[in-house]
Structure 1
Amino acid sequence: MLHPQARALIDLMAERGVPPTHTLAPPEARALYRDRRAYTQPAAPEVAEVRDLQAAGPHGDIPLRSYRPAGAAPDAVLPVLVYYHGGGWVIGDLDTHDTLCRELANGAGCAVVAVDYRLAPEHRFPAAVDDALAATRWVARHAAELRIDPARLAVGGDSAGGNLAAVVALAARDDTDGGGPLPIVFQLLIYPGVDMRRGHASHQTNGQGYVLTQDTITYFHDHYIDDPAHDADWRASPLLAAGHAGLPPALVITAGYDPLRDEGLDYARALSGAGSRVAHVCFERQIHGFITMGRVLDEANTAVALCAAELRRAFAAPAAR
């Protein structure tokens, strides 16, 4: 059964005539996504420090935002989560996920560096992947300046950002860009999109009526992917990578009323089947995108707390020291 709070949110959006994302041009969709966060997101918690930075990338500079948790000493060397926001590779930015990054920093007691990767259709696949990997390598190289421990570096993201986190973990394992070793100790994959072929059963069963629809998924896909052959590229579909052994431990979160539910589950199975440690938690009564909606969805706060606890555990593990 859909959570009553999720049902109330969906009904309110219909009552107020919130236009579906796929009916808007990308600039309009970005503005709506940014503006509506005030209705669903909790108040942004205070943190010890927020800094806007830039990382050099193959397509130009990449904006970043660095957070240090409340109570952290100025000179403390902290573990770090590099975070890639959701939004179908088309919408979303540092501001849309500012509250979540603050929550994760405080809850996990770690630094968080959010990545404002290039968006489609202005920058199509694999531009977002290139930016995500370049930014992560930049964070590791600038560890001293950022007061972070490069041996305790995690990657994470929601939806499209979960896709990018999974891809960065694969690329780092295989050193596909020739950047050298990039030890990643944990993957935080929040309802990730991992299979561009869009053939899993949940795309049909959850494809209408739960905010993220098949039409909106197609809109995002077609803005990001300009060649159907790219659907089979592991950098677009990490589920289709040749192998999933040797990857960092992961937490995979899915939602019961999400079109992406089944591919997230299959990714967790691929990781565990290859011998990687993975926990999969499905919030059975929730919709795609719920984790940023803690003002109106109580289970969002539960999910944030779970993510923070798993990050703390990963950063405390012997392999992360």
Structure 2
Amino acid sequence: MGDLDTVDVPCRRIASRAGCVVVSVDYRLAPEHRFPAAAEDAYAAFRWLAGNAREQHADPSRIAVAGDSAGGNLAAVVALMARDRGGPQPCFQLLLYPVTDGAQDTASYQDNADGYLLTRESMTWFWNHYMGDADRTHPYASPMRAADHRGLPPAFVVTAEFDPLRDEGEAYAHRLAAAGTPVECRRYDGTIHGFCWMPGVLDKGRQALDDAAAALGAAFLNGVRPHGIANPTTMDEEA
């Protein structure tokens, strides 16, 4: 599900706020193209941009990977692929409520199984279409399952309070931090999965995108990297 138009608004807002080029990737979708098609498409796009950045008015030494939900999964996976395959490396990863583990066994999956837009049942449907008979524990499907998370780029991770994916996003942030990666993780209370798609009607959607763009812009312009975390920062209703 989804296409370039689906994410056009958040891409434009990030480009505007961070002052950067955003390349939005229209990767192949399942079930016509199952795992690892989407991941390989995303990695191919990253490699292409690294080799053609100047033509896109971009700096090849400052390329980040970013995405939300399934796109957050692909961004994290591209960072792993780039490290494992020894090619160009992203300088930053921006992960908005990412899918990081196919186990679907966290407390947030239980607490937010129904009633908050994204459901446990729909995630099972997505996983089944994406993976088919393939192994969900493959690290390029479930980046949480990678044997080693060292040597990955700094990260800014966004999670939503009422989202089945909340806990796995935060767990991935902790896994990166434990491996020595500078990470900032922010939970936006009172929000649901996909809230960053709705900056026109949700204050928290605007805030999260602007916070993400600020982190991205700082990484690009100043080499500022987020600090390691012990617990996610909660962005409450008064923020």
| Fold shared by both chains (TM-score > 0.5) | yes
1:166 to 69, 76, 79: 76
Tell me by how many angstroms 1:153 deviates.
0.4
Cα deviation 1:139-176 (Å, max 9, x = unaligned): 1111121121010000000000000000000110111x
The aligned counterpart of 1:260 is 165
The aligned counterpart of 1:202 is 108
Q: Is 1:123–2:28 an aligned residue pair?
A: no
Residues 319 and 259 of structure 1, relative CA distance in 2, 3 Å threshold: closer
CA distance in 2, matches of 1:318, 1:307: 15
CA contact (8 A) 1:154 1:186 kept: yes
CA distance in 2, matches of 1:278, 1:105: 21
Task: Give 1:31-180 correspondences, 5 Å limit.
Answer: 91-175=1-85, 180=86
Q: Is 1:274–2:179 an aligned residue pair?
A: yes
Tell me by how many angstroms 1:316 deviates.
2.0
Tell me by how many angstroms 1:317 deviates.
3.5
CA contact (8 A) 1:252 1:268 kept: yes
Identity among equivalent positions (%) equals: 54
SS at match of 1:256: strand
Larger radius of gyration between Structure 1 and Structure 2: 1
CA distance in 2, matches of 1:319, 1:132: 26
Q: Is 1:214–2:115 an aligned residue pair?
A: no
RMSD: 1.3
Cα deviation 1:190-240 (Å, max 9, x = unaligned): 00000011111111111111010111111111111111x511100000000
Pairs aligned (count): 225
CA contact (8 A) 1:185 1:319 kept: no
Q: Give the letter for the 2:27 counterpart.
A: Y
CA distance in 1, matches of 2:224, 2:205: 30
Tell me by how many angstroms 1:183 deviates.
2.1
Tell me by how many angstroms 1:248 deviates.
0.5
Q: Which runs of 5+ in 2 are unaligned?
A: 226-239
The aligned counterpart of 2:201 is 296
Q: Is 1:241–2:146 an aligned residue pair?
A: yes
CA contact (8 A) 1:124 1:225 kept: yes
SS at match of 1:148: coil
SS at match of 2:159: strand
CA distance in 2, matches of 1:92, 1:205: 26
Cα deviation 1:295-314 (Å, max 9, x = unaligned): 22111000111011001111
Normalised to the residue count of structure 1, the TM-score between the two structures is 0.69
Residues 275 and 216 of structure 1, relative CA distance in 2, 3 Å threshold: same
Q: Give the letter for the 1:172 counterpart.
A: A
